[in-house]
């Protein structure tokens, strides 16, 4: 088979020697190792690795196959984590485990066809090519808390070194295929691929799909722009292997783009909605290097700063290994679900790249917590990443968080896939958001209405489906900080919704009704004026005449639930009962019928064909979720 020179490592651009490190955030939470260079590993704090380590440090029974230019298996910070083939007896020239490879104690070299998977300088080489696999191995799984050098994302997972690229970073298709098959056959649970090229290979596609079907999680780098060139949109100019599954019915390759310290796309990182699933830090990375004391090129065991999607991919592989160590029975699809649903959204700070950096930047802590909390079920179905493109005609679930989280409203498909998100109020606000979906003009055009809960100004804001602010006003005195409950409904029978606002705790039981432009058209006190427990409002059709009434319940204090007309006339009253768990329910009017319930952590969706649950803000958040359904058939 011809030389496949376009299957190359994604170039890691070395910025400088690792002489100065960025300090780790002072007072960072989580488990902190004693590795001396830990303070320079800024990216571990960004992805929440120290917090994840409180749950798991990884497990040697979850090997990560590093298919690359070789790994320094003697490195002082890697050797304790190097995979060992227990079925083989080294040095006897016998294939003891009958896997087809003689004396493969620590992996295999498919370039020189021998049992030594370390980089080789026997022919032409580059320093970067020789170091490449060892850099990735250190990012993923350098030994933690051993008092040496750095720490990987996982402290204890085994590194399975497989050499398929030569010492200058070039390779041939069939060698990569052989490497993948070897990894699967010998028990790898994760495969990390830090190379990309323009040649598509059916053989490699088949091998990677088989790996996925065998339960192996495959991670691939998005690739880097050449020096002085613009990054590549993979939707227009696909690279491989990352894009081999772009037209598949299964997302069997988990593509990774690179971000910088501010969660912006790294200037060199390729991108594309059809190929990239997640982003991870890929700038100013410190890692292990090939260590040969006394040599000129390899005299230091550590180096940096390194930039590239080549370090982002093994970072994700390390997170996958942490998740897998929580529950070894998790499938690749389930693990992808956890990573996707718990990622930190970065679309808002990367204009023009909606969905092209995957679902967000990986958050190891929340992903591990999600796996620990719900590891026996699939929380969010995953489809090929092309589905991330902005919808043109579909119904979306809208979610708003309660107290304890930034006020980000998120949109999801009916299958629970994240679509987009935006800040309804200042990102520093943590009091919670009240949410409603309105039809103000009697057409199919819908809008999102939001208000700040406890601690926020009594402002109601209106957004279109593209998250643009299109209106807003103060429902109560601007100095009031008890929060506002918001609801919408057609209260006068004209086919257009009005806005209902209820004052939160401390503001009296005041209910007001507005046109969308802020013009007040009604108001009343739902309880005695001395009541200060706050009210929660809703729109209900109490008599079935198609005209909504105003439902009012106490936010606290045990008052009865009441229903009023627009003019404040009491329609009915229900005595106070024992408080039930707070949940927010909405049933869609369009076909097919869909009921969505938001509770403390999860959104529960019930439809005619299927039901599912997913945590829109991660399993760790328990402040409550408010929900709505919105049609985006524009």
Query: What CATH number does the domain containing 551 carry?
Result: 2.120.10.30
**What integer pLDDT is reported at residue 581 of this predicted model?**
40
Residues 171 and 283 in one domain: yes
Confirm whether 17 is domain-assigned: yes
Confirm whether 3 is domain-assigned: no
Average pLDDT of the residues in 105-109:
98
Average pLDDT of the residues in 330-359:
90
Residue given tokens 């780098």 in the structure block: 221
Confirm whether 379 is domain-assigned: no
Residues 114 and 169 in one domain: yes
Residues 71 and 173 in one domain: yes
Closest alpha carbon to 448 in 481, 414, 399: 399
Average pLDDT of the residues in 474-479:
94
Residues 69 and 184 in one domain: yes
Instruction: DSSP for 46-67, please give it.
Output: HTTHHHHTTT----TTS-EEEE
Cα–Cα distance, 309 to 311 (Å, whole number): 5
Lowest-pLDDT range of 99-103, 125-129, 239-243, 602-606: 602-606
Average pLDDT of the residues in 472-490:
94
Main-chain phi, psi angles of 422, to 5 degrees? -155, 160
Cα–Cα distance, 64 to 552 (Å, whole number): 56
Sheet strand arrangement including 159-163: 108-109, 159-163, 64-68, 190-193, 217-221, 254-259, 278-281
The total number of structural domains in the chain stands at 3
The residue among 532, 553, 579 that closes a domain is 579
Q: Return the bridge partners of 451, or none.
A: 434, 460
Residue pLDDT, tens place only, 570-616: 999 988 654 444 444 555 554 445 566 666 677 888 766 556 777 88
Contact 336, 380 (CB under 8 A): no
Residues 403 and 532 in one domain: no
Residues 605 and 552 in one domain: no
Confirm whether 77 is domain-assigned: yes
- Whichever domain contains 71, its CATH number is 3.40.50.200
Closest alpha carbon to 30 in 22, 20, 38: 38
Cα–Cα distance, 409 to 347 (Å, whole number): 13
Residue pLDDT, tens place only, 371-382: 887 643 333 333
Please, which pLDDT band fits residue 297 given cuts at 50, 70 and 90? very high
**What integer pLDDT is reported at residue 22 of this predicted model?**
40
Mean confidence (pLDDT) of the chain: 86
Confirm whether 339 is domain-assigned: yes
Catalytic machinery residues: 68, 132, 310
Contact 30, 145 (CB under 8 A): no
Please, which pLDDT band fits residue 12 given cuts at 50, 70 and 90? very low
Tokens of 441: 């003009």
Cα–Cα distance, 479 to 320 (Å, whole number): 48
Confirm whether 310 is domain-assigned: yes
Instruction: Look up the domain containing 189 and give its range.
Output: 8-374
Residue given tokens 């996958």 in the structure block: 320
Cα–Cα distance, 241 to 355 (Å, whole number): 20
Residue pLDDT, tens place only, 172-202: 989 999 999 999 999 999 999 999 999 999 9
Residues 410 and 487 in one domain: no
Residues 80 and 157 in one domain: yes
Residues 263 and 284 in one domain: yes
Residues 117 and 165 in one domain: yes
Residues 575 and 603 in one domain: no
Residues 222 and 106 in one domain: yes
Could you tell me what percent of the chain has a pLDDT over 90?
64
- Could you tell me how many residues make up the chain? 634
């Amino acid at each position: 088979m011809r030389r496949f020179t376009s299957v190359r490592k994604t170039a890691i651009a070395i910025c400088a020697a690792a002489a100065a490190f960025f300090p780790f955030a002072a007072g960072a939470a989580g488990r902190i190792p004693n590795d001396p260079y830990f303070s320079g590993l800024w990216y571990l704090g960004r992805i929440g690795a120290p917090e994840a380590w409180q749950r798991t440090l990884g497990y040697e029974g979850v090997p990560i196959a590093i298919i690359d230019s070789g790994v320094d298996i003697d490195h002082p910070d890697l050797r304790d984590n190097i995979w060992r083939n227990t079925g083989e007896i080294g040095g006897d020239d016998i294939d003891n485990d009958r896997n087809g490879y003689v004396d493969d104690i620590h992996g295999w070299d498919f370039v020189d066809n021998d049992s030594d998977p370390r980089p080789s300088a026997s022919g032409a080489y580059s320093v970067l090519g020789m170091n490449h696999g060892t850099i990735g191995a250190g990012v993923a799984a350098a030994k933690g808390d051993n008092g040496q050098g750095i720490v990987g994302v996982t402290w204890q997972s085994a590194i399975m070194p497989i050499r398929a690229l030569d010492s200058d970073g070039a390779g041939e298709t069939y060698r990569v295929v052989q490497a993948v098959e070897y990894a699967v056959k010998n028990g790898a649970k994760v495969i990390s691929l830090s190379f990309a090229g323009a040649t598509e290979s059916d053989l490699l596609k088949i091998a990677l799909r088989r790996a996925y079907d065998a339960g192996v999680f495959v991670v691939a780098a998005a690739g880097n722009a050449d020096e002085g060139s613009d990054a590549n949109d993979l939707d227009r100019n696909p690279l491989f292997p990352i894009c081999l599954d772009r037209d598949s019915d299964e997302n069997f390759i988990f593509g990774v783009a690179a971000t910088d310290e501010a969660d912006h796309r790294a200037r060199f990182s390729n991108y594309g909605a059809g190929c990239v699933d997640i982003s991870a830090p890929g700038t100013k990375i410190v890692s292990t290097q090939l260590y040969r004391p006394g040599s000129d090129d390899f005299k230091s065991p550590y180096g940096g700063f390194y930039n590239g999607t080549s370090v982002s991919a093994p970072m994700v592989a390390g997170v996958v290994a942490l998740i897998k160590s929580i529950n070894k029975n998790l499938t690749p699809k389930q693990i992808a679900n956890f990573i996707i649903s718990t990622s930190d959204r970065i679309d808002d700070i990367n204009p023009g790249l909606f969905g092209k950096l995957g679902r967000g930047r990986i958050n190891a802590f929340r992903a591990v917590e999600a796996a620990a909390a719900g590891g026996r079920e699939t929380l969010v179905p995953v489809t090929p990443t092309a589905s991330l493109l902005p919808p043109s005609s579909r119904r979306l679930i809208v979610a708003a968080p309660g107290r304890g989280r930034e006020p980000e409203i998120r949109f999801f498909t009916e299958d629970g896939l994240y679509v987009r998100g935006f800040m309804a109020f200042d990102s520093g606000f943590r009091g919670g958001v009240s949410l409603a979906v309105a039809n103000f003009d009697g057409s199919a055009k819908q809008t999102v209405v939001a208000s700040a809960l406890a601690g926020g100004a009594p402002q109601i804001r209106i957004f279109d489906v593209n998250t643009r602010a299109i209106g807003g006003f103060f429902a109560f005195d601007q100095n009031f900080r008890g929060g506002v409950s918001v609801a919408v409904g057609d209260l006068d029978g004209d086919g257009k919704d009005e806005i209902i606002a209820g004052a939160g705790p401390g503001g009296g039981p005041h209910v007001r009704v507005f046109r969308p432009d802020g013009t007040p058209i009604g108001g009343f006190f739902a309880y005695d004026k001395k009541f200060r427990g706050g009210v929660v409002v809703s729109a209900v059709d109490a008599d079935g005449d198609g005209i909504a009434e105003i439902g009012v319940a106490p936010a606290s204090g045990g008052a009865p639930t009441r229903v009023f007309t627009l003019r404040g006339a009491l329609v009915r009253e229900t005595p106070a009962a024992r408080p039930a768990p707070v949940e927010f329910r909405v049933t869609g009017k369009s076909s097919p019928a869909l009921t969505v319930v938001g509770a403390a952590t999860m959104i529960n969706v019930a439809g005619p064909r299927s039901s599912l649950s997913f945590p829109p803000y991660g399993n760790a958040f328990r402040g409550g979720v408010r929900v709505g359904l919105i049609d985006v058939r524009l």
